[in-house]
């Protein structure tokens, strides 16, 4: 199937194909139409899909070969069985668009703190490699002996580039380990959970992840048990997947979905909302409504977190400059007092 498409490309393809199918264009003709308007890996994939369909394979089987997102595979398979392929593709496009939107929001939220952090690193590098060595040379030329913390500062300036490189290397290694573990647990998350605000943010994010995927599957016509089973195979966080397993096992034993959520690290209001939805018989709509509310809540909390990080970084920068300036000028102040 060639190179793998990213989730954004899958969403665009699904949306365009859905609109063609909804307009009455047959599947093969719709794929041929799209293939003529793409280049590169998308065009290669569309041509391969046509070949597979002509060979007797279904679209969902072809998507598996193309390593489409598991949610897209599940929705398309349900759409094929239920006769609403266009609707399933629209839901797939919405799912992919939501994933892309969430990634973009995270990047935008962290952009300014990241820039401030880079400026802070550059500032410290300038201080310890340019300013501090000049003061050290000045005092040495004056024959002025430095003591205590000022001497430590001058010694640190010689080692600072190596220390900074080591810290950056360790940070990159930690980030690589986190990405390698994917959505699994990591000791950093254990530390974050000890902070009440971050603990609440993690719960909101996990609940949103669980509600969004289950609500979309149910809205696509997937039966509850099958939807819970599909959730277990999605690239969710390890803790979320484990929760899906436990919830599904409880539902298999005859427990209602609302009661099965008790004891899980999810939003406290979710079980009641689901129990009400189970009574009214509109579970998928209720889940999607909760998903939208949690998405807004998550966005607000991330905004508050970023607003709290920004002044902290500026405070660190100010303290660093002030402390270095004080230590550099201390020998001069001693000399003035001696005179």
Among the ranges 15-19, 37-41, 71-75, 263-267, which has the highest mean pLDDT value?
Answer: 15-19
Q: Smallest Cα–Cα separation from 99: which of 234, 197, 250, 239?
A: 234
Task: Count other Cβ atoms within 10 Å, centred on residue 13.
Answer: 24
Mean pLDDT of 202-214: 88
CA 272/CA 293 separation, integer angstroms: 15
Q: 27 or 146, which is more confident?
A: 27
Say if pTM beats, i.e. exceeds, 0.95. no
Half-sphere exposure of 239 (CA within 13 A, CB side): 13
Give the dihedral sign, CA 271/241/182/212.
negative
| 46, 28 Cβ separation under 8 angstroms | no
pLDDT band at 338 (very low <50, low <70, confident <90, very high): low
Among the ranges 102-116, 190-204, 288-302, which has the highest mean pLDDT value?
Answer: 288-302
Mean pLDDT of 158-183: 75
Mean pLDDT of 172-199: 64
Provide, rounded to the nearest whole percent, the portion of the chain with pLDDT above 90.
Answer: 11
Give the long-range contacts of residues 17-23, CB within 8 A, separation 24 or more. 17/89, 18/86, 18/87, 18/89, 18/90, 18/92, 18/93, 19/86, 21/85, 21/86, 21/89, 22/86, 22/90
What was the pLDDT predicted at 250? 92
CA 238/CA 234 separation, integer angstroms: 10
What was the pLDDT predicted at 190? 59
CA 143/CA 137 separation, integer angstroms: 10
Give the long-range contacts of residues 119-123, CB within 8 A, separation 24 or more. 119/317, 120/313, 120/316, 120/317, 120/320, 121/164, 123/317, 123/320, 123/321
In degrees, rounded to 5, the angle at the alpha carbon of residue 98 between the alpha carbons of residues 14 and 1 is: 40
The matching CATH number, chosen from 1.10.10.60, 3.90.79.10, 1.20.81.30, 1.10.3720.10, for 7-97 is 1.20.81.30
**Cβ neighbourhood burial of 215 (10 Å; 0-12, 13-18, 19+):** buried
Q: What is the pLDDT of residues 300-318, one digit of tens each?
A: 998 888 888 878 888 888 8
What was the pLDDT predicted at 119? 87
Mean pLDDT across the chain = 84
Q: What is the pLDDT of residues 130-170, one digit of tens each?
A: 888 888 888 888 877 787 888 888 888 888 888 888 888 88
Mean pLDDT of 92-97: 90
pLDDT band at 339 (very low <50, low <70, confident <90, very high): low
Mean pLDDT of 33-49: 86
Mean pLDDT of 65-75: 81
Q: Which residue in the block uniquely carries the two structure tokens 């709290």?
A: 308
The phi, psi pair for 5, rounded to 5°, reads -85, 150
Among the ranges 11-15, 35-39, 157-161, 197-201, which has the highest mean pLDDT value?
Answer: 11-15
Both tokens assigned to 305: 């977190």
CA 77/CA 69 separation, integer angstroms: 12
Q: Left (φ > 0), alpha (ψ -120 to 50) or beta: where does 148 sit?
A: left
CA 87/CA 201 separation, integer angstroms: 32
What was the pLDDT predicted at 18? 93
- Residue 22, pLDDT > 80, answer yes
| 99, 216 Cβ separation under 8 angstroms | no
Mean pLDDT of 171-186: 62
What was the pLDDT predicted at 19? 94
Return the exposure string of 158-178: e unless at least 16 CB atoms fall within 10 Å of the residue's CB, then b. eebeeeeeeeeeeeeeeeeee
């Amino acid at each position: 199937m060639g190179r793998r498409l990213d989730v954004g490309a899958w969403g665009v393809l699904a949306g365009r194909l859905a609109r063609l199918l909804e307009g009455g264009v047959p599947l093969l003709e719709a794929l041929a139409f799209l293939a003529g308007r793409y280049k590169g890996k998308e065009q290669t994939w569309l041509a391969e899909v046509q070949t597979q369909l002509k060979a007797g394979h279904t679209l969902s089987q072809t998507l598996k070969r193309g390593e489409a997102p598991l949610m897209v595979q599940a929705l398309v398979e349900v759409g094929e069985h239920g006769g609403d392929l266009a609707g399933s593709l629209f839901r797939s496009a919405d799912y992919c668009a939501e994933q892309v939107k969430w990634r973009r929001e995270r990047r935008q939220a962290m952009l300014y703190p990241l820039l401030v952090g880079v400026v802070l690193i550059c500032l410290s590098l300038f201080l310890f490699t340019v300013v501090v060595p000049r003061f050290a040379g000045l005092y040495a030329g004056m024959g002025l002996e430095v003591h205590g913390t000022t001497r430590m500062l001058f010694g640190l300036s010689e080692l600072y580039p190596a220390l900074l490189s080591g810290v950056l290397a360790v940070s990159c290694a930690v980030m690589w380990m986190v990405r390698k573990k994917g959505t699994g647990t990591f000791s950093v998350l254990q530390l974050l959970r000890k902070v009440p605000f971050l603990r609440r943010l993690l719960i909101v994010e996990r609940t949103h992840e669980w509600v969004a995927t289950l609500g979309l599957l149910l809205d696509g016509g997937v039966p509850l048990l099958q939807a819970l089973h599909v959730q277990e195979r999605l690239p969710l966080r390890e803790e979320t997947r484990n929760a899906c397993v436990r919830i599904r096992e409880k539902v298999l034993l005859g427990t209602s979905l609302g009661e099965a959520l008790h004891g899980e690290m999810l939003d406290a209001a979710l079980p009641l909302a689901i129990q009400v939805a189970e009574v009214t018989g509109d579970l998928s709509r209720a889940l999607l409504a909760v998903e939208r509310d949690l998405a807004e809540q998550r966005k607000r909390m991330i905004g508050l977190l970023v607003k709290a990080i920004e002044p902290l970084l500026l405070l660190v920068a100010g303290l660093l400059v002030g402390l270095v300036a004080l230590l550099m000028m201390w020998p001069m102040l001693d000399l003035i007092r001696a005179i």
